[in-house]
Every structure is written in structure tokens, then in C-alpha cells.
Structure 1
Amino acid sequence: MATIYRDEDADLDALEDKTIAVIGYGNQGHAQAKNMRDSGCNVIIGNPRGDEFWKKAEEDGFDVYEIPEAAKRGDIIHMLIPDEVQAKVYNQQIAPNMGEEKTLGFSHGFNIHYKEIVPPRESDVVMIAPKAPGPTVRETYKQDSGVPGLVAVSQDNSGEAMDVALGMAKAVGLTRQGVIETSFQEEVETDLFGEQTVLVGGISELIKAGFETLIEEGYQPEVAYFECQNELKLIIDLIHKQGIEGMMRAVSNTAEYGGRTRGPRIIDEDAREEMKEMLEDIQDGTFAKEWTSENDKGAPNLKKMREEGKEHLIEEVGKEIREWAGISD
């Protein structure tokens, strides 16, 4: 069974007299920084001078410093900039300012697990990973609730790394729902696998494949959109609230029977074998090397795929339907 920590298991005293330098003020940065400040923590922001995030952090009342200065001032350096730039920023701007008693924090373990970032042995290295986008992390906190998350320790030189990690998780509001203890390896490998096979890659291709099949057989694009994409939210909401079997009970008997008998023809043994191969690419570092190389070249393949995605018919049809249906972006 998983070890789950809740509010009563975490103590904000672990953060007493510590300055938390949140590096980056984007999606997670703004949310976690605000939540920790509202929990009574001393939070500063490290960010490139003058950009939109610098200005926003200042408007929100934070002391903002360039990243090297924030790293000097912080007892806890919490890395919340994108994975693809973390290693460069760390090596050039943070590593020279790492002291023996500093804690390095993350919300995704990619760069630690794949050794793109190698912290000093004397430093504690921890992770708190909210399982929700930043805006949701912030909004639920303001509602005296929170989102669940993960907590992990990679290096514990002080002997107090888990206490600090749990204190950070409590300050962000995660222990209100509960945080599961994990490892950097497990968090990274399961996170990448879920994104690629189900949450981002798998579901996007499934939607487009269903849509294209109906269009090729002469059905109206608008009707195909409703059946293959629009109604997906309703199904996901049911699964989120009631589980897969709860969703099955909520849909019609016809839908349930068709789904149970035909679904395995889509996700068949070939698909499952492909999933295993994708997991192996994650486990042995193949994907990490590919992604790092892609960014070193300026992400040309990603940019090309983005442009191709914009031109797909489902995007044109979806935009029109969302406008007349009053569904905001």
C-alpha cells in the first residue's frame, strides 16, 4: 500500500526561518509561490529580468531577483521553470550559488532522474508534485481545499529532507488532500508514460482517428466532432467522479455493451506491446535523449507538428462549434 501523508503528518515548522526561492513564475511557479506565502512562508522569486513573469511577480507583491541572486538568497531553491531549460539554467546560474546546506526542490524529477542536473552531494534534493495545473492548485487552495500530489526525496544529507518536503507540500495545500510518497524515478517514468500513451498522445490520436474515419465515410464534420471529441468531456467527468465502472453504469446499455465488446479491438495486444516499448524508451533514457536533442536544435520537429496540428480539420470544426455553443477556450 502507498504511504499517504496528510496535514497532520506535515509541519510548517520545518520551513521556519528559511527563504524559499521559487525559480520561475509561470504555470506552477505563481501558484505554489502564492500558496506558500499565504501559508506564512518567506518566498522570493527568481526570474530573468524584465519579462512578463518578472512584472507579474512584482505586481503580485513578491521580491523578484535575477536567478543567480535568488539562488544565493534562498535556503530552498525550488525549480519551477520548464524541464527543457532547467539544466542550462541550473548549471550556469544556480550551481555556482549552491551552498552545502541548501535544499534543491522540484515538481517534476526529469532532470534529476536523467542526470541532466547533478546537485552537490551535500545538498538535500526533494520533490513536491501537484497532480493538477497551476491555476487549479491556486484556486483550490483559496477555497480551503487543495489537490493531491506526490512527495519524494532524492538526497537527504541533512536527515531532515522529508520533513522539509512535507512542509512545502503542506504550504502549497497538497496535504489537505494527501501526498503519496514516491521516488524521483517512479514519478518521472509514470508521468511520461501516462502523458505519451493516454493523457496527451494516446487520447489525441484516438480522437483524430475516430473523427477522420467518420469523415472519410461521408459523415458531416460537425456531427463527427460531437461524437468523437465534444462528448469526451462528459465521459471523462463521469470517470473522474465515479471511476470506469461508475461511468459504465451511467451510460446507456447499448453504449456499455458496444464499449465493452469493441474497445479491446482498438486497444488490442499490439497496442499494449507498443505501450511496453514506449515505457522501455522512457526507462532506458531513449526518450530523454531524444527530447534533449530536440531542444538543443531549437525544437524544429515540435514546431512543425504544432503547425500541422493547427491545420487539421477537427481544429477548424471545433473552433466553430465552440463559438456557437458558447464554450470558451
Structure 2
Amino acid sequence: MGRTIAVLGYGIQGRAWALNMRDSKLRVIVGVRPGKSFDLAKQEGFEVYSVADAVRRADVIAVLLPDMVQPSVWREEIEPNLKPGATVIFAHGFNIRFGLIKPPANVDVVLIAPKAPGRAVRDEFVKGWGVPALVAVHQDYTGNALKTALAIAKANGFTRVGVIETTFAEETETDLIGEQTVLVGGLMELIRKGFETMVELGYQPEVAYFEVLNEAKLIMDLIWEKGLTGMLLGVSETARYGGLTVGPQVINDDVKKRMKEAAERVRSGEFAKEWVEEYSRGAPRLKELLSSIEKHQIEIVGSELRRMMRG
């Protein structure tokens, strides 16, 4: 590639990208504030600079900082130091989609969003494989924005599996909708309500935990490996019939209607506005909600059972 790439942030995702691209023979530097991440990047052999210095030295800048940290760092350290014609990469489109970051017109702005946590991004690369990713172009100042994005995706192993071209809006909205209605919010509440139902009917909490939480991983593994039909063919006929007949009565069209309402809050920007305001107050509601989960019986029982199973 012949250009200097600055990875901003050396958390799980930033570390994975930096190591992968260095292994792919690209010139990588790291921009991070003093602290544990700064020290770790140094120990692992990278040239480490302040964010501002890294941006000044780089032709390609991968912004791998937390969503809510990005706008202030952008204003103070990134934008004032961008070279004309530089490429700015985001791994999630949140701040561009909702207008919290507005890049100058003389840079390329692209999205490379791996569909896996940072640990998997690194582990699969080391195995000689990769994880899938989404790629998008928001701004193509040089005419080479997509070409650069694909080169960086290739250096991280994403193209070994496949990349899908999308838009910042589609990636951001589907990511938030999926997290809220299925992957985090929906799945967690389904498990919790199933546990509460069994315990309220008089069943042992430990038995309920194994049924609704522990076995959920085994079912998801089957779905991930073989799809919905493959999962159904991998369980008993009794489970198959019960699941197909009762499941739609529990997770019904009323649930789908509420999912669409949640999706509209994302698409309208209402959720983003709420989250930005919550974060600006120090996230008191988030802390309260997290505390209530930590105190829930399923977590107390599960902590003990997981400890016992580890030996």
C-alpha cells in the first residue's frame, strides 16, 4: 500500500486491526492517550504517539475509539491535523449517520465494520481465515476511497470470508436495531422472562438457569453452524414440534410490532439523541439498569453454577 496507517485506540478492536495490518506488511502506527493501552502498544512493538501526532503522520486513519468518545477527540485532535486527501476509516457509522462528526470535504471517509468482536478479528486472522465485514463509502474525495477500504479490509482478513458493500446509514441502523431487539435486549429479556416464569411456577432456580440460559448457547451454536432448519433437525421431535407450535404464540406479531416501533426510534434519530444526552449526564440510567441485572436472581444463581462447572 505504501502509506502510513494510524490506528486510533488500542482496545480490543484497535489492537486486532493494528496487529493484523502489521502482519500483512503495512506500515502501522498507533495513536492513543497515555495509560495502559499506550504502554501495551509500545510493548508490542508499535510506534506510539498522541492522537494528534499520529493523525499528522498518517495517510490513513482508523478511528477505533468508543462511539461516545469520538466526537470530542475528532474536534480537538483529529480534524485539525488531517492531511488533504487522507482516508478516515470508521468501524461503526454512528457518528457520521447522526451528524455528530462532520468531516471536511477534502478527505475520503469510509466504513469497514467487522461483524465480530475484536478478539475474533484477531483470532481468525491468525488461523489464516477472517470474519465477514461491511464496507461503505461516505465521501470519495480522491476517487480511490473504495479501493483503499478494500485494501484495509484485505489486510485484516475480512475479504477471505467476504465483504458486503453497504451505506453508513444501513450499517448503523441495522446494527442498533439488531442489538436492541434481538442480540442484546431481546435475547436477554427472553432468557430473563423465561427464568422468572419457571421460578414463579415453583421450579428450582438452578434447573431453570440450565434450561433457559445454559442450553441457549447450545441452540445458538446449532443455528450458527446449520441455520434454523439445521437446528430443528438437530433437536428431538418433541422439541421441534413444541418450538414450532408454541414459539410463534409467545414471540408473536405484537412483539414484531414493538420491534418496528423500536426500529423507527433508531431511524428517526430519537434513540441517538436519547443516548447522547444520557452519556453527557454520566449515564446514570445505564448504571442503574446494569445494577438491576447484576442483582437479578438469574445472575446470582448463574455465577455460582458457572464457578462450580469450572471446577
TM (normalized to structure 2)? 0.99
Q: Distance in 2 between matches of 1:128 and 1:95?
A: 20
- Residue number among 155, 163, 167 corresponding to 2:139 in the alignment: 155
Structure 1 ranges of 4+ moved more than 6 A: none
Match for residue 125 of structure 2?
A: 141
2:235 is matched by which residue type in structure 1? V
Residue deviations 1:11-44 (CA, integer Å, cap 9, x gap): xxxxx22111100000100001100010011111
Match for residue 69 of structure 1?
A: 53
| Gaps in structure 2 of 5+ consecutive residues | none
Helix, strand or coil for the counterpart of 2:298? helix
Structure 1 residue 203 corresponds to structure 2 residue 191: no
1:122–1:157 contact (8 Å) kept in structure 2: yes
Q: Distance in 2 between matches of 1:108 and 1:183?
A: 11
Match for residue 103 of structure 1?
A: 87
Match for residue 41 of structure 1?
A: 26
Match for residue 37 of structure 2?
A: 53
**Cα offset for 1:99?**
2.2
Q: Distance in 1 between matches of 2:37 and 2:289?
A: 27
1:204 is matched by which residue type in structure 2? M
Residue deviations 1:54-106 (CA, integer Å, cap 9, x gap): 11111111111111111111111110011011111111111111222111101
Structure 1 residue 261 corresponds to structure 2 residue 245: yes
Give matches, 1:244-323, under 5 Å: 244-323=228-307
Q: Distance in 1 between matches of 2:116 and 2:36?
A: 23
- Residue number among 4, 8, 14 corresponding to 1:29 in the alignment: 14
Identity %: 52
Q: Distance in 1 between matches of 2:306 and 2:93?
A: 36
- Residue number among 20, 31, 37 corresponding to 2:5 in the alignment: 20
Q: Distance in 2 between matches of 1:74 and 1:294?
A: 34
Structure 1 residue 220 corresponds to structure 2 residue 204: yes
1:100–1:120 contact (8 Å) kept in structure 2: no
Q: Distance in 2 between matches of 1:107 and 1:62?
A: 21
- The number of equivalent residue pairs is 311
- Residue number among 73, 79, 93 corresponding to 1:89 in the alignment: 73
Match for residue 3 of structure 1?
A: none
TM (normalized to structure 1)? 0.93
- Alignment RMSD: 0.8
Match for residue 10 of structure 1?
A: none
| Gaps in structure 1 of 5+ consecutive residues | 1-15
